[in-house]
Amino acid sequence: MPRAPKPFELPPIQPHPRYGAAPTRSGLGLDADELCAGFWRYAQGHVLDARLRLVRQPSGAVAPRSTFYLFLASAIAADTARQRYGVFPRRHYVDILRRCVRCGTWFLFFAREQRHWYETLGFWIDADCVHCLDCRKADQRTRRASARYAERIVRLTELGLRELTTLLRDALLLADAGLLKDRHKLARLRRVGRDHGVPEALTLALSALLDGPDSTGSRPKGTP
Ligand SMILES: [Zn+2]
């Protein structure tokens, strides 16, 4: 009798506040071929059964960075009438384990999360989730900071202390993300901040940015 294949060992998974940190079970009872026939991209994944044994390999070569795993037991049926697609809908959603393309963290893109994306939020069916939740949240924070910064910097001299404090905080966040490199602007913000008494920690952080060894605007990505 052939030896049963060893079950896949789950890596540490970033917890999701709503869906948890482990694949779920739906009781739908699909087989791997049925699952993969339900959406073109699924055929590029490793399919694992309820006991985490590999039951289907990716068809074709997949770059190691693009490796992902599908948990067959988590598959749920989709309501394709509510999806936005060109030719092929997704007939099923399934918990997908993959690595964030930015930070390398393992995360689950949950079947129920996909249903929310594609049936409630109206995302295009081929829109893929390649960033972990922490990176998606960081992106949202950066976008909000960027919009607020653009709106406030043009009326710098009219800002009250609270708005000015937020502006300096936003500037620091954007500078850290490599999106704000104008040293004159940063120096001016520091000066106005000092004159109006924003918390010293913020003007000191701006000083560190302006005077630090890596103050050329080329701070390495991911520097805290
Ligand atoms: Zn990430």
Instruction: Give per-residue pLDDT as tens, 78-119.
Output: 999 999 999 999 999 999 999 999 999 999 999 999 999 999
Residue 83 is predicted with a pLDDT of 97
Average pLDDT over residues 28-33: 94
Expressed in angstroms and rounded, the spacing between residue 132 Cα and the centre of ligand 1 is 4
Q: Give distance in angstroms: CA of 131 to centre of ligand 1.
A: 5
In the reported structure, the alpha carbon of residue 58 is separated from the centroid of ligand 1 by a whole-number distance in angstroms of 24
- Alpha-carbon gap, residue 135 to 82, rounded angstroms: 28
157-208, pLDDT tens digit by residue? Answer: 899 999 999 999 999 999 998 999 999 999 999 999 999 999 999 999 999 9
Among 128, 110, 102, residue whose Cα is nearest residue 13: 110
pLDDT at 217: 46
Compute the distance from residue 163 Cα to the ligand 1 centre, in Å. Answer: 30
Percent of the chain with pLDDT over 90: 84
8: pLDDT strictly greater than 80: yes
Question: How remote is the CA of residue 106 from the centroid of ligand 1, in Å?
Answer: 8
Give the pLDDT of residue 214.
Answer: 55
Residue 56 contacts residue 34 (beta carbons within 8 Å):
no
Separation of 73 CA from ligand 1 center, angstroms? 26
**What is the rounded CA–CA span in Å between residue 50 and residue 69?**
13
Q: How far is the CA of 15 from the centre of ligand 1 (A)?
A: 12
Distance of CA 89 to the CA centre of its chain: 23
Dist. CA 222 → ligand 1 center (Å):
11
Residue 137 Cα to ligand 1 middle (Å): 9
| Residue 218 reports pLDDT greater than 60 | no
Provide the strand spans (E) within 21-168.
Answer: 46-48, 54-56, 68-71, 76-77, 92-93, 96-99, 106-109
How far is the centre of ligand 1, averaged over its atoms, from the C-alpha of 205 (Å)? 25
pLDDT(59) > 90: no
> What is the model's pLDDT at position 6?
83
Mean pLDDT of the chain: 91
Determine which of 42-46, 50-54, 57-61, 183-187 has the lowest per-residue pLDDT on average.
57-61
CA 221 to ligand 1 center in whole angstroms: 13
Residue 156's pLDDT band, with cuts at 50, 70 and 90, is very high
Hey, which residues does 69 pair with through a beta bridge?
46, 97
Q: Is the pLDDT of residue 213 over 50?
A: yes
Q: What is the DSSP letter of 117?
A: I
Q: How far apart are CA 149 and CA 158, in angstroms?
A: 14
pLDDT at res. 222: 45
pTM over 0.85: no
pLDDT number for residue 221: 45
Q: Which two tokens stand for residue 28?
A: 């739908």
Residue bearing the bigger pLDDT, 66 or 201: 201
d(Cα 203, Cα 63) in Å, to the nearest integer? Answer: 45
Please give the distance, rounded to the nearest whole angstrom, from the Cα atom of residue 120 to the centre of ligand 1: 24
What was the pLDDT predicted at 57?
93
Give residue 2's pLDDT.
Answer: 64
φ/ψ region of 2 (left if φ > 0, alpha if ψ in -120 to 50, else beta) reads beta
